[in-house]
Amino acid sequence: MSVISSALSLLGWDQQTHMPPRGIVARSQVSGRLTKNMFELSVAPELGEYLEALEGDRSLSIEEQASVRDLGKQYRRRKAIPSELIEEVAVARSQAQAAWAQAREKSDFSIFQPLLTKMVDYARRFADYFGYEEHPYDGLLEDYEPGLTVAKLKTINEPLREQLVPFMKRLATEGTAPDTTPIEGSFDIDTQRRMARRALEIVGYDFESGTLDDVPHPFTTTIGFNDVRVTNRYLENHLTSGLYGGLHEGGHALYNQGMPESLYHLLLNGGASNGIHESQSRMVENQLGRSLPFWKYFQPILAGFFPQFSDVTPEALYRAVNVVEPSFIRVEADEVSYNLHIMLRAELEAGLIAGEIQVADLPRRWNEAMEQYLGITPPNDALGVLQDVHWSMGYFGYFPSYMLGNLYASQMAVKIRQDLPDLDERIASGDILVLIDWMRMNVHQFGGIYQPDELMNKITGASLDSAHFVRYVQEKYSDIYGLS
């Protein structure tokens, strides 16, 4: 199963980076066949017999027990799905990804709509096969964040919304927005690419075990042990998009590069959950990359690539990259508004899966939600409903992981500063790996051995508490915006 998974990851990476457009038909057939083979192995009677014999066996190592736990859950969920449906969905997924890319390029949702309708229908059927107690979306959320439900999401979303929306308004009406002119201008794409590579080297990404390629929508994929690949995109008039996209994906890659080989063979290399995986990317992108100590170290490095930054102070750069304002693109959203983008998507997804929202209505519903949450309306589909690749891949239930990642990272950061009281000084002096080493020791090495709540309690002594994130953004941005 691990070997076939590696082959599928490689095919997916190639499709989004180097595959010629006309190769999609043959690629979808190959992906479909391998996906079916993988599925057949994952529901094989022999595997069921092995799991039955091994579940509850306390003589197994903690890693082996975790593998049996995860494979057992996966086995039961997949056993409920007809095998012919798996190959059918894999073919549709490849076609949907190609249609999404074309639709996004032309900013025309109608190109993507028929394929998205198929993917939503498949997701609804999967939810029914998996089973759920209260909401069909619950059946899909379980794949990405064990134990998460629509009801639990509401208990997280509503308090966050109640605190973040007024705080954003306060920043806009009472605060003084930072000057962004230091990072404005036109920046050569190839130079940006080299800068992003240098930033990845600084945070410890191992290029002997990875690559950096261009794509429309950044992602990281794990082909196997010692092969974890990063992709990124660059905008000529938006310098920080490529920098923070690279750092974000680098955080994901560091997680997988920090896992021992044994976890790959036990299929525990997916991490504790998607939310925990996102915590590692947000830790590197935001907790590190948007901090003042980071800019004290990185400012001269940036000036080496773009000499116009030689006379720009680290403080000015720090303030410029921490502007809070509503934006159309999720991946470029600031720390305060980002979670509102996720709430919007999760609510639309839940409505789609429950049949309360039709695919044809998505552009309108998306724009209405953007106006409601962020006070802005996308001028076209590319800046709105077509900006994310996830739905084309059938990843319904994934988006909440991004928000949870912010919350997990903020709670971990409190513990990190308790353990490393001189962290800011060390980062400012260039000792960035002290932070990465802490994550290696406390997060990376465990991969998927622990469930997310278990891991958070092991690291911080408590379950997830969003108050840490709220305190973090309020303290940071009140200072930047001069609020009392």
Task: Tell me what pLDDT residue 450 has.
Answer: 97
346 and 389 within one domain: yes
Q: Is residue 139 part of a domain?
A: no
The pLDDT of residue 216: 85
Burial class from Cβ neighbours inside 10 Å (0-12, 13-18, 19+) for residue 190 reads exposed
Exposed / middle / buried, residue 44 (Cβ in 10 Å: 0-12, 13-18, 19+)? middle
Joined together, the tokens standing for residue 148 give 């998460």
Residue 249 designated active-site? yes
How would you list the strands of the sheet with 212-214, edge to edge?
A: 212-214, 227-232, 220-224
Angle between helices 109-130 and 338-354 (to 10 degrees): 70
Same domain for 226 and 264, yes or no, is yes
Q: Is residue 59 included in any domain, yes or no? A: yes
- Do 256 and 337 belong to one domain? yes
Let me know whether 88 and 216 are in one domain. no
Q: Is residue 421 part of a domain?
A: yes
Distance from C-alpha of 182 to C-alpha of 306, rounded to nearest angstrom: 12
How many domains does the structure of the chain reveal? Answer: 2
Dihedral angle of Cα 458, 463, 466, 469, to the nearest 10 degrees: -10
Domain membership flag for residue 257: yes
pLDDT value of position 332: 81
Q: Please report which confidence band the pLDDT of residue 84 belongs to, taking 50, 70 and 90 as the band edges.
A: confident
Q: Has residue 406 got a pLDDT over 90?
A: yes
Q: Are both 70 and 160 inside the same structural domain?
A: no
The one catalytic residue in 249, 278, 335, 347 is 249
16 with 54, same domain: the answer is yes
* C-alpha to C-alpha distance for 30 and 86, rounded to whole angstroms: 13
451: left (phi over 0), alpha (psi -120 to 50) or beta: beta
Last residue of a domain, one of 88, 106, 134: 134
Model confidence pLDDT, tens digit, residues 144-161? 999 899 999 999 999 999
Residues 290 and 314 in one domain: yes
103 and 192 both lie in a single domain: no
**Residue 189 forms part of a structural domain:** yes
pLDDT at 484: 81
Q: Are residues 203 and 116 in the same domain?
A: no
Residue 258: what pLDDT? 98
Last residue of a domain, one of 100, 134, 168: 134
86 and 193, same domain (yes or no): no
CATH number of the domain within which 463 lies: 1.10.1370.30
Confirm whether 140 is domain-assigned: no
- Summarize pLDDT for 213-262 with one digit per residue, the tens: 999 889 999 999 999 999 999 999 999 999 999 999 999 999 999 999 99
Write the burial class of residue 194 (CB in 10 Å: 0-12 exposed, 13-18 middle, 19+ buried).
Answer: middle
Q: The domain containing residue 467 runs over which residues? A: 150-481
Mean pLDDT in the chain? 96
- Residues 303 and 442 both lie in one domain: yes
Q: Which of 77, 105, 134 corresponds to the end of one domain?
A: 134
